[in-house]
Amino acid sequence: MFMNKLSLRSSRSLIIAVVALALGGCAVGNRYDYRSSIQGLPVSGSGKIAVDVVDVRPYVLNGDKGSDFVGLQRGGFGNPFDVHTATGGPLAGEMRTAIVSALERQGFSAVAPNDPAPRKMELRVVEWKTDVMARMKVLYDMTLSIYDQQGKILAKSTTKGEEVLGAGFESANAWGAAKAFEIRFTELVRDESVRNALSEPRTAL
């Protein structure tokens, strides 16, 4: 009788494990790559721009999550698993790589944040997180600031909100997340004052 009870309990546990795996097996270990997420920008020029991305997400600053944390992927029971950057490096780094590549495609010369340049571009990330189960929720709060070489602010644009997009398996979610970032960053750059500040003639260094 004891063996019967044990067998019944084991069978139940096995069935629960199978259901959980079938419904949530793809939730573990997801990674999103933001490095080549931006293909074009609504501004072009030829000057030098120092580019910086600053991650000020509260849960990263307080150590609750690592700097490579980019969101959550939920299993079949809604249980969350962390999603990280493809490189394992900071999200700010991957975002900066994307921005630098895009600026250079548009004719600019992008340099390190502390290098001298007529313009400095800083993206401050207060929130960037995706939360995926049946659909993908994107939560964002970012500010783009353009400074002159003396550190005087020339332009600022902000985007903040949350959206619900579709969702799929890892590669579709990774692509959707990258597209969402591209759209939000493009929106920041499309601001007229930002475009003017970036494309104004200035003294080259």
Partner 1 sequence: MDLSRAALAALFAIAISGCIGTTSGQLTLPTEVAKQSTYFVERHAKDDRNLAATIAERMQARGLQAKAGTAAERKPEYKYVVNYTDRWMWDMRMYLYDLRIEVRDAADQSVVGFGQSTQSSLKAMGKTHADVVDTALNELFGPR
Query: Minimum distance between the CB of residue 45 and partner 1, rounded to whole angstroms?
Result: 12
Which amino acid belongs to residue 98? A
Residue 146 host element (H or E)? strand 136-148
Which of 62, 63, 150, 169 lies at the binding interface for partner 1 (CB under 8 A)?
169
Evaluate whether 198 touches 49 at the Cβ level (below 8 Å): yes
175 makes contact with partner 1 (CB under 8 A): yes
19 makes contact with partner 1 (CB under 8 A): yes
Tokens of 174: 């990774």
Which of 60, 144, 167, 197 lies at the binding interface for partner 1 (CB under 8 A)?
167
**From 12-20, 77-85, 88-96, 151-159, span contacting partner 1 (CB under 8 A):** 12-20
**From 33-41, 48-56, 141-149, 196-204, span contacting partner 1 (CB under 8 A):** 33-41
Helix (H/G/I), strand (E/B), else coil: 199: helix
**DSSP 8-class letter at 191:** S
Question: Could you tell me which of 138, 108, 103 has the C-alpha nearest to residue 123?
Answer: 103
Nearer to partner 1, 67 or 186 (CB): 186
Evaluate whether 188 touches 142 at the Cβ level (below 8 Å): yes
**From 48-56, 141-149, 150-158, 172-180, span contacting partner 1 (CB under 8 A):** 172-180
107 makes contact with partner 1 (CB under 8 A): no
